[in-house]
Amino acid sequence: MLVQQILKSKGGGAVTTVKAGSSIADAADTLAERRIGGLIVSEDGETVVGILSERDIVRSLALRGAVCLQETVGDLMTRNPVSCSKSDSADAVLEQMTNGRFRHMPVIEDGKLVGIVTIGDVVKARLEELALEKDALQGMIMGH
């Protein structure tokens, strides 16, 4: 299973990005509206400069209170996030996410953002693949 197949099964919609100069309050609105947990930070929608996850906001709220809502995405984001390409395997991506303790990964081709995969996307794809393999094996054993 490749990242390419995961993106295809997600329907290939545009990735939601946010500019580094946007406020954390606006970024939180976008996360809530779109029901997502992370935003890729980019000025032009193509070049990735960082990633802002709900965890970054929650951590900052707990440490410093609501004042962080007036700060910018650039203040709280993780710079130069680990990324993958369409030809990477789902297993390799899952391993990087598990080892690095993060749940989002931008997909980049020729320096440009082409998608995002979450740990949920990868686990769902792997479970579907395992179910198909199980059916195929059962079919072979039962002779149909």
Residues that bind ligand AMP (CB under 6 A): 37-38, 51, 53, 55-56, 78, 81-82, 102-105
Query: Smaller CB distance to ligand AMP: residue 27 or 125?
Result: 27
Query: Smaller CB distance to ligand AMP: residue 24 or 105?
Result: 105
* Pair type for strands 17-18 and 38-41: parallel
Query: Smaller CB distance to ligand AMP: residue 123 or 131?
Result: 123
Beta strands in 35-142 (DSSP E): 38-41, 50-53, 78-79, 104-109, 112-118
Query: Smaller CB distance to ligand AMP: residue 80 or 138?
Result: 80
CB 85 within 8 A of CB 7: no
Compute the least distance from the CB of residue 93 to ligand AMP, in Å: 10
Compute the least distance from the CB of residue 78 to ligand AMP, in Å: 3
| Count of Cβ atoms closer than 10 Å to residue 56 Cβ | 21
Distances (CA, A) of 120 to 36, 60, 71, 136, 137: 11, 24, 29, 24, 26
Tokens found for residue 98 = 């598990």
Compute the least distance from the CB of residue 139 to ligand AMP, in Å: 38
Compute the least distance from the CB of residue 126 to ligand AMP, in Å: 18
